[in-house]
Each structure stands twice: as structure tokens, then as C-alpha cells.
Amino acid sequence: MAIVNSPLSLADKKEKIMPLVSKNVDIDGIGRYCLGRFWKVATPEQQKHYLVLFHQILANAIADKLGDYRGVSFTIGNVTKSGDDDSVEATLVRPQQPPAAMQWLVNSSSGSPKVVDVIGEGASLRLTQRNDYSSFIARNGGDVDTLLRALQKQIDHHNAASAQQ
């Protein structure tokens, strides 16, 4: 939180945030979930390549948002059981914007608690993402490589855009 709100530059913020994210977020798990039924279809190389790309996509998404955020705070509400996971209610308070309510699903099966999903106003991040990916693959002849290429293109695009700034 202190890092997000600090007046550091975007690159510095990103450098400090990413280790925390990988420690507390089950990125591999989310990535596997997002690939859905195509995870089984993908070859081990494709799976590996996909997870590398997925990490980068997530890092980019975080970096995009980090720049916008200053003076944000969280209030943590009730914790309820939701299946195997704990659902944590949280409200994100941003200056000059209406507060956003969300839930984090936290799974502790790996020993340490890790975030596995974020639900914002009823829509699950990982489920929405999974539907995006699987629909994309299905419409491109069920070929996982097309997804990998598209993700790579997104990353290149993002890097090119941030290099220009």
C-alpha cells in the first residue's frame, strides 16, 4: 500500500511491487484456470510458454494501473468461507471516485494464503478471463499457439507503447 501511494516513479514501483505480488498471488494457478479446457490440450512446452507470457501480462496490467493510483486505501470487511477458499470483502477507496467493492478469494491449500481470484461487482476476474481466452482459441480452430502468439503481440504492443512514453 505504501508503495502504491508513494510518489516513486512507475518503474520503481513496479520493481518493488512484483516480488510481493508473486509471493501472495497464485499466478500459476490463475493462469492454469484461465486456459480452461485447453490446459489439458496444450503440450508441456506450450504450458510453460503460456505461463511465462501470463506472468508478463499480469505484470503489465498491474503496471498500467499503478500509475493511475495515488492516495488509495483499502478497508477489509468480513471473511466468509466460499467452497475451499476464503472470500475476503474489501472496498477500494480512491480519491474523487466512488468506492469499489470487491471480494478476494484466498486459498491456503499450498501452506501460505494466496489470492486466487478477484471478484469485482459480481464478475470474477479469472472466469471472465478464461471465457475470453477459450473463446479466442475456439474461434481460431482450437490451436493454443494462436493464443500464445496473440499474448506475445499484446506484450510487444504494451512494451512499445510504454517505451514511447
Instruction: Name the one range near other proteins by CB under 8 A: 42-50, 79-87, 145-153.
Output: 145-153
Site residues for other proteins, window 91-110 (CB under 8 A)?
Answer: 92, 102, 104, 106
Instruction: Name the one range near other proteins by CB under 8 A: 44-52, 77-85, 128-136.
Output: 128-136
Count of residues of this chain found to bind other proteins when the rule CB under 8 A is applied: 47
Is 155 an interacting residue with respect to other proteins (CB under 8 A)?
A: no
Is 20 an interacting residue with respect to other proteins (CB under 8 A)?
A: yes
- 123-124 and 100-107: which strand pairing? unpaired
In angstroms, the first-to-last Cα distance of the chain is 25
C-alpha cell at 49: 510458454
* Ordered DSSP codes for 26-63: -HHHHHHHHHTTHHHHS-HHHHHHHHHHHHHHHHHHHH
Site residues for other proteins, window 50-79 (CB under 8 A)?
Answer: 58, 61-62, 64-66, 69, 74
Residue choice 9, 108, 138, 159 for contact with other proteins (CB under 8 A):
138
Residue choice 56, 82, 87, 124 for contact with other proteins (CB under 8 A):
124
> Is the CB of residue 50 less than 8 Å from the CB of residue 35?
yes
Q: Which residues have C-beta within 8 Å of that of residue 89, sequence separation ≥ 6?
A: 76, 77, 78, 79, 80, 101, 102, 103
> Is the CB of residue 147 less than 8 Å from the CB of residue 133?
yes
Helix (H) or strand (E) holding 106: strand 100-107
> Where along the sequence are the contacts to other proteins (CB under 8 A)?
1, 4, 17, 20-21, 23-25, 36-37, 40, 58, 61-62, 64-66, 69, 74, 90, 92, 102, 104, 106, 115, 118, 120-125, 127-129, 131-136, 138-139, 147, 150-151, 154
